[in-house]
Amino acid sequence: MSKKAILVISFGTSYNENREETIVPVEKAIAKEYPDREFRRAWTSKMIIAKLKKRDGEHIDYIDEAMDKLVAEGFDDVIVQSTHIMNGTEFDFVYNIVSKYKTQIPVIAIGRPLLTTDDDYDEVVANIANDLLPLAGKGALVLMGHGTEHYANATYSELQLKLFFAGYKDVYVTTVEGFPDFDNTLELMKDKGYKEVTVTPFMIVAGDHANNDMAGDDDDSLKSVLEKEGYKVNCVIKGLGSYPSFQRMFAEHAMKAEQI
């Protein structure tokens, strides 16, 4: 008889309360579709894994640890679902490490990150319009992503264009470490007459980046940068994993996982 598992792999967070509000609901949404599979968890941030171990005494598996356990326990059919935003560095780690186990686990299928296909972009735009845009009232909405040096950083620019062409001219996508950066976004917002701006993370969790780079009081936080330009800033510290619409997307991606 086949022994099946569903392994959900996330970046991770050291904010335990936010984990319960974001990562855990995504995991549950995915696991719900697979009652016949044993649920397992892994994270890709070794730094956060080490921090949790030292601070809380809690161990979260890295990718290879989770896969080694599945091999040792005799699982022969595994679906791996990433909860990452894009097909970037972290997902590369997932794909490359999991692929090494093809000779030890006969059936391995991998579900793609949130933004992979054109349909994904359309669905995310709809989710933003339905779930995030109402947060902004009559002002602008700025979604803050992480950003990366990986070529997948172009994901943010494509999402921005998709939003504009869908008619959402008051929604802006910015990043902490990539393009568009805060200055680029300010340039797009210039002369639009906004008095209020709502900022919220375009990240699965609302952890360190959301609390500090977005909503912190340092001069270079997104909130401070916008306030210097005269905007009244409202911060909504809520990760995408908190919204059922995004939870559902990851569950759908798991159901479309492709065998490697």
Which active-site residues does the annotation give? 146
CA-derived radius of gyration, the chain: 19
DSSP string, 60-89: ---HHHHHHHHHHTT--EEEEEE--SSSSH
Spell out the alpha helix ranges (H) of the chain: 16-21, 23-32, 46-56, 63-72, 89-99, 118-127, 154-165, 182-189, 208, 222-228, 244-255
Quote the tokens at residue 198: 């709502």
CB atoms within 10 A of CB 21: 16
Closest CA to 242 of 208, 205, 199: 205
The whole-angstrom separation of Cα 210 and Cα 235 is 9
CA gap 257, 222 in Å, rounded: 36
> What is the rounded CA–CA span in Å between residue 67 and residue 63?
6
Torsion angle of C-alpha atoms 155, 157, 162, 165, degrees rounded to 10: -170
| Rounded Cα gap, residues 146 and 125, in angstroms | 18
Give the list of residues 6+ apart from residue 233 with CB closer than 8 angstroms, or none.
Answer: 196, 197, 198, 199, 223, 226, 227
Provide the CB-side half-sphere exposure for 118 (13 A, CA): 0
